Structure 1
Amino acid sequence: MNCRVPASKRYQPTEYEHAANCATHGLWIIPSLVGGSMLYFLSLDQWHRVAAWLYGSGLTGLTVEQRFHMCDRMAIYFFIAASYSPWLMLRELGPWVCHMRWLIWVMACVGSMCVFLFHERYKLIELLGYVSMGVVPALVILSMGERSGVCELAVGGVFYTVGVIFFKSDGLVPFAHAIWHLFVAAGACVHYYAIWRYLYLPGPPLKTSR
């Protein structure tokens, strides 16, 4: 690995680290496309199809933007929003917290705009933005009347949270960014299973907040 850089600079990976970053990104392109398509074809109505499209787009988008560092950072916000959308759209929520369905996309747009305007200048604020988008909707989801899948959501959240340590460890831990990709992939797999199992497989109809 190369030496750690100041907070206002972008870390430059070694050739081996760059290869590992590309490999751990590209490895999930086909599974993401297949997984998103599977949810779409399992959809029961238009809301299931919209949720599948949003989630599949976010899942795939996170894997194909690795060539552009700024786009990669923006894609994280939309990936988080897309990951929550199936739960926010297809489960019954409280009378006020249901507004999180659209508010999370506003948060993603604001976060992306901050990346565009202040890229690499305020890394701590960027990190807090990711964490906030991960935590706030999770608190809303706890208001669901139907609680199946919450355990899997928590496990996936643990993978993402531990991965953040490596996300901020370029120059301290060799291949830190690639390791972070693996934790993201593990968290995404757990969350995908929960969405597939509890929101798309045939079962008793559930009330929604639509």
Structure 2
Amino acid sequence: MTLQLRDVGKHYGSTPVFAHVNLDVAPGEFVAIVGESGVGKSTLLNCMAGLDSWDHGTVHLAGQDLGRLNDDQRALLRRDKVGFVFQAFHVLPHLDVAQNVALPLMLLGRQEPERVQALLDAVGLGELGARLPQQLSGGQLQRVAIARALVHQPALILADEPTGNLDPATAAKVMQALVTQCRQHGSALVLVTHSLAATEHADRVLHLHHDGIRHPHG
């Protein structure tokens, strides 16, 4: 199992964000999580990566209990096993497109320019490796973020509203690129979104509520 959550709950002070979240994500599976604003979708995603803390329950990532790891150990596990795709892209403006995509490999001490180029080709940016981020559109920047998230072949991709800043046509292309690449690389994908259109390729669509997570029809 790539990701396993058992009875996970989170509070801010005395205010519960969510509780009793149980979830298994298998290798290569695409799970979409939808929910109302303020229900804690992004917080839950951060808990899955050990970027945020939770108050009760357990989170296992790639067989490791995140609650038993210190900050450095969590960071090393993320670097090796997790790729992130954020709504705000988070590309580095002073690096060109190819350098941005290569960052996870660099952090792992790997130099694989052919792999970087192959991923740029796969997301439709094969000719743009030498461009700086400010020369790209929003849709192109999001595809840079997808290529960067996948370049080190992580077990898990976490995507937080990856099409939220894009028009519908561009959003559809970006989601297609994300899902296609995850399928080809065998990476599990957990997507949190407001957009039902972004969930149409998902193996499962789940609703997050303050009292747990369930199938929309359940």
TM over 0.5: no
Structure number with higher helix proportion: 1
TM-score of the pair, normalised by structure 2? 0.28
Structure number with higher strand proportion: 2
